[in-house]
Chains A and B, each alone.
Chain A
Amino acid sequence: MRGGTIAAPAPASIEARSWGWRHGGRRAPAVSGLDLRVEPGERVLLLGASGAGKSTLLHGLAGVLGGDDEGESLGELTIDGRRPSAVRGRSGLVLQDPDSQIVMARVGDDVAFGLENLGVPADEIWARVGAALDAVGLALPLDHSTAALSGGQRQRLALAGVLAMRPGLILLDEPTANLDPDGVHEVRDAVARIADETGATLVVIEHRVSVWLPVVDRVVVLGQGGLIADGRPDDVLVEQAAPLRAAGVWLPSDVPWRADPSTARGSEPLMTAHRLDVARVPGVPVQRGIDLRVDSGCITAITGPNGAGKSTLALTMAGLLRPEGGRLEPGAPMAGARGTEPWRWRSRDLLTRIGTVFQHPEHQFLTGSVLAELEVGPRALKMSPAERRERIEPLLSSLRLEALTAANPFTLSGGEKRRLSVGTVLVTRPRMLVLDEPTFGQDANTWRELARLITDLRDEGVGIIAVTHDDTFIDAVADSRFGLALAGGAALTDAPVRGRSNGGGVSA
């Protein structure tokens, strides 16, 4: 321990009276007519479909929605009876993206940042920094580089930064959506401990309800016209099960879904790695001597801790990165491309052979509309307009994107972005599909759609590699699991997840 404890601030109360907010430039308000009262010390799980205004409410409480030039505020929203922007430091906000909320290069400085802004005297700052880091369980030197932290550590650092400010209200906007299972529990446990120690009021938005149920004592469900439900977690989750499920919330009572076995006829090797060394940056291999085969009609999950080189392996198998050593052997269905080394193939040759869905859909968007985005591949293959239409129309309906053809891909919701990024790859009908964390940050609806889509492709004989941390997803769809250990150790497992004949469900 670094000494010092977190002084318990008085917990804050929240009151919304027919509150609403309309973002500048939007016709419809993000939130309207909201009436809500949260008593000091309550711990609230905020649920609702995407677009119900959960984040807007949280940002409003944090006082970061901006002034009149950024949007229009209706009704009244107060913390302890005062406007949120007038009580800076009473609330602290942790956001979803672990990469974009660290301000400083050193761990200690990052926690100190908020205290400096609030004008806390320098000699008091470091004691509070130490206590906050202890409280979130980050036992690191103060000058440790923030760039070297894992996702879970980053989120705990963000939490420490908030905690050091001694807020009476802690606001968490999907703090664990982008984390691996270990990270999720690290952060959840840290939040639970802090809530117990400080007694602060807590409002958390999260789709994975079961993770947060042990921490919260009240569930509030937001809908388009204000509150849909409000009450004790058990009551709300049972009474509102159907609308919550429709809104993409993961209900604890939902049995994990499991795909039927493959109906693909026969299987042949699509890509075989022989003693493959892989590197993201040339000359710096992250894994050596990998043997792995991708067969048509099979789904292989690549798993392992952060930094083990899972994505690097997948992108190398996808013909995007040059192998550092060893050999990649394309199977017979891949014939017709120039040469036998996938990384030398023309970009256009990849389209019909290997499709890659990146972890962040934003990285692969190229155009200003959903329709144009889907046309990129077919155009590169010089398909006629009629052929393009024939390919794109069924995809639009199966991905539920028909109503959005003119929308800018960057303005879509997380789930829509993911579906579009998968669509852009499927439109050229590749024989092999490489997916990097396809279910990261997705709600239950998109998750199920992805799982169905992937198993349908498998049944059509597409060979699939999925890099994933999501054990539920692996249980649901994968035929085999390929585990990578951290660099150096080639302690790999290549064990079948389940027998092909087993189509029954599994317990949670």
Chain B
Amino acid sequence: MSIAAVRPDLPLASINPVAKVAATIPLSIGLILTLDPVSAGVAILCELILFTAVGLGPLLWSPRTLPVWIAAPLTGISMVLYGEPSGTTYWQFGLIEVSDGSIAIGLATMTRVIAIALPAVVLFLTIDPTDFADGLAQTLRLPARFVLGALAALRLVGSSIDDWRNLALARRARGVADLGVVRRSLGQAFALLVLAIRRGGTLATAMESRGFGAPVQRTWARTATFGAPEWCVIAVGCLIAVVSVSAAILTGSWNLVWS
């Protein structure tokens, strides 16, 4: 199961994940403040160039980013149909009104979703869950008990996927799979939960028997470093935010959402 796989062999994989998450924050804030196509368009352009330059180009165009490319136009279209109308109206049908204003909002929304979601997805694919946990616990000093518990739980996701498959087969074998999909899935989800709790219980015992939660100051076998490369990644994130926002202000399209 890929979710708990070992460190991906990708550029930026060795960067502290905390830095990668932090790097996406300034741009997200900038793009949430304004609703215009220029800021988000510039941001997307910067992202495409940057990711290609560091060697993440193949990931950019892989099926794993497909949800972004599908979801963004869909949100855009809904804004075109239902967004606040202004200017020339092209088509009206019940609540639907397509106008200059709603088309602009739709375009701004679509580019926004891409500009925010694309780096999040691409960067997250380069993150190894273990590194992320190390970063959260050592760099951000979140409670180790909580972080490591969540990390261990993540390992059970793979087992749960196998469980789900087996549960479906077993239900068919037991003669109850002719029911509706909804009823069947509900029962199956409950069974999955029961199994997950049991597995979790065993894992908790195993962890406790190996001193997890002992009243001793915990040490870390892997040191999460936060040095020049990490600051560099955050600086690049800030730079993209500044460039995008400046472009919007200079072209006069800066448009605060509450104005």
Write the residues of chain A forming the contact surface with B, with a CB cutoff of 8 angstroms. Answer: 59, 62-64, 88-89, 91-93, 95, 97, 99-106, 108-109, 112-122, 125-126, 129, 143-147, 158, 161-162, 165, 280, 315, 318, 320-321, 346-348, 350-351, 354-356, 358, 360, 362-366, 376-377, 380-381, 410, 424-425, 428
What are 14 inter-chain pairs, A to B, with CB distance below 8 A?
A95-B202, A100-B199, A100-B202, A104-B152, A119-B219, A129-B221, A280-B165, A347-B178, A350-B173, A351-B174, A362-B198, A363-B166, A364-B171, A376-B174
A62, B210: Cα distance in complex, Å: 9
CB distance from B128 to the nearest CB of A (A): 8
**B175:A377 contact, CB within 8 angstroms:** yes
Interface SS of A by simple majority: mixed
**B 156-177 binary contact with A (CB < 8 Å = 1; else 0):** 1011000101110111111111
Which residues of chain B are near A91, meaning CB under 8 Å? 209
Q: Which 6 A-B pairs have the closest CB atoms?
A: A117-B211, A114-B210, A347-B177, A101-B206, A380-B175, A100-B202
Q: Which of B152, B166, B173, B209 contacts A62 (CB 8 A)?
A: B209
Q: Which of B6, B208, B221 contacts A125 (CB 8 A)?
A: B221
A143 and B174 in contact, given A64-B205, A95-B205, A321-B169 (Cβ under 8 angstroms): no
**B210:A350 contact, CB within 8 angstroms:** no
Q: Which of B175, B202, B220 contacts A101 (CB 8 A)?
A: B202
**B175:A351 contact, CB within 8 angstroms:** yes
Which residues of chain A are near B223, meaning CB under 8 Å? 122
Closest to A356 in B: B173
B7: Cβ under 8 A from any A Cβ: yes
A414, B166: Cα distance in complex, Å: 19
B187: Cβ under 8 A from any A Cβ: yes
**B172:A350 contact, CB within 8 angstroms:** yes
**B222:A109 contact, CB within 8 angstroms:** yes
A103 and B207 in contact, given A145-B6, A350-B172, A358-B170 (Cβ under 8 angstroms): yes
**A116:B170 contact, CB within 8 angstroms:** no
Central interface residue in A100, A126, A346, A356, by most chain B CB within 10 Å? A100
Which residues of chain A are near B191, meaning CB under 8 Å? 363, 365-366
A-B contact count (CB 8 A): 179
A499, B175: Cα distance in complex, Å: 37
**A376:B175 contact, CB within 8 angstroms:** yes
Which residues of chain B are near A63, meaning CB under 8 Å? 208-209
A320, B166: Cα distance in complex, Å: 10
A105 and B171 in contact, given A92-B210, A126-B221 (Cβ under 8 angstroms): no
Q: Which of A95, A114, A354 contacts B211 (CB 8 A)?
A: A114
CB distance from B166 to the nearest CB of A (A): 4
**A380:B222 contact, CB within 8 angstroms:** no
A113, B167: Cα distance in complex, Å: 32
A356, B163: Cα distance in complex, Å: 16
A358 and B166 in contact, given A109-B130, A366-B187 (Cβ under 8 angstroms): yes
B212: Cβ under 8 A from any A Cβ: yes
B5: Cβ under 8 A from any A Cβ: yes
Which residues of chain A are near B239, meaning CB under 8 Å? none
Which residues of chain B are near A315, meaning CB under 8 Å? 169
**A89:B211 contact, CB within 8 angstroms:** yes
